[in-house]
Structure 1
Amino acid sequence: MTALLAFLLLLGVGAIAALHLLWGLGSHWPEASEEALARSVVGDGRRRMPPPWLCFAVAFVLAVVALWPVYALGLASVTVASQGSFAIAGVFIARGLAGYSRPWREHFTDEPFATRNRRYYSPLCLLLGVAYIALVSGELSK
């Protein structure tokens, strides 16, 4: 079961990393324009996407996070695997909870981002955080 969870995290977070890579390369998929994409995925009033280097940096970090479960399963040290997994889970859970906070909602007001954040982005972050904790639980039960 732990291997399946690691594979699902690899696919899911890897797909998010691939999206950021595409955006860094100038794609505005899945929206019709760069402005529509910025309103959909940034939501802070900007009409242009962040610079490519920032999209590439996020893509790189997400790729490492996507590969972590596979790496962690092969680690002999449960301590290192657990610490890394808990750190990743903490970031996802913090992002998920932040999306429901008043300061976040007041800052990120553009639609459709605000609605998508409440319905999809924040819950996805919370789910990913719980999944990384579940991965740790599987590692500790070895």
Structure 2
Amino acid sequence: MLAPILSVVLATILAIAGLLHALWGFGVTFPAANEQQLARMVVGRRGITKMPSLAACLFVAVWLFAFAGLALMLGRFAPLPVSKWLVAFAGSGAALIFVGRGIVGVLPAFERAAPEQPFLSLNRRFYSPLIFLIGVGFALLTLALPYWTWRLGWLS
């Protein structure tokens, strides 16, 4: 019952993130005052003064939109263009990717590696927890698939 709501929430968050990455690739600096401040907020590498290239930003945007589409497929809002088992595996993979990034982002080794402020505090407070919750959302959607079975043969 909650799967459709979770699906739409995840897809919306991921689509907004994808749109932001695309806009950043084209030079929009929202929510920062300039490109250097934006780069320090969203990339955080030591000494960064410019945002990544258009191609890099669009690469991330396309993947975020793809994950948004996957969330809609898992919530059965979008048709399944491939077999059901492949969608289930994609959902599991998305869960692992997002949960993994969420966890890695708060490890002391990550924080010592390079990120500078304000990325470091934004990552600790917002980015990593949100990314972790997105991963949990994908896990819940994948486990809630109505055609999921827990025996060999898995999905019909």
TM-score (norm 2): 0.85
Deviation of the 1:107 alpha carbon: 2.1
Q: Which residue of 2 aligns with 1:24?
A: 25
User: Where does structure 2 lack aligned partners over 5 or more consecutive residues?
Assistant: 149-156
Q: Which residue of 2 aligns with 1:113?
A: 119
Deviation of the 1:9 alpha carbon: 1.1
Q: Which residue of 2 aligns with 1:58?
A: 60
State whether residues 108 and 114 of structure 1, in contact with CA within 8 Å, keep that contact through their aligned partners in structure 2. Answer: no
Higher helix share: 1
Aligned residues: 142
Match of 2:96 among 68, 90, 94: 90
Q: Which residue of 2 aligns with 1:4?
A: 5
Q: Which residue of 2 aligns with 1:136?
A: 142
Q: Could you tell me which amino acid in structure 2 is paired with residue 69 of structure 1?
A: A
- 2:27 and 2:86 map into 1 onto residues whose CA distance is 37
Matched, 1:80 2:86: yes
Per-residue CA deviations over 1:104-128 (Å, capped at 9, x if unaligned) read 1012331110001001000011100
State whether residues 28 and 37 of structure 1, in contact with CA within 8 Å, keep that contact through their aligned partners in structure 2. Answer: yes
Q: Which residue of 2 aligns with 1:122?
A: 128
Deviation of the 1:78 alpha carbon: 4.0
TM-score (norm 1): 0.92
- 1:70 and 1:102 map into 2 onto residues whose CA distance is 34
Percent identical across equivalent pairs?
A: 31
Per-residue CA deviations over 1:28-51 (Å, capped at 9, x if unaligned) read 110001000011011112111111
- 1:124 and 1:132 map into 2 onto residues whose CA distance is 12
Larger radius of gyration: 2
User: Where does structure 1 lack aligned partners over 5 or more consecutive residues?
Assistant: none
Q: Which residue of 1 aligns with 2:152?
A: none
State whether residues 43 and 114 of structure 1, in contact with CA within 8 Å, keep that contact through their aligned partners in structure 2. Answer: yes
Deviation of the 1:88 alpha carbon: 0.5
Per-residue CA deviations over 1:1-34 (Å, capped at 9, x if unaligned) read 2111111111011000000000011111100010
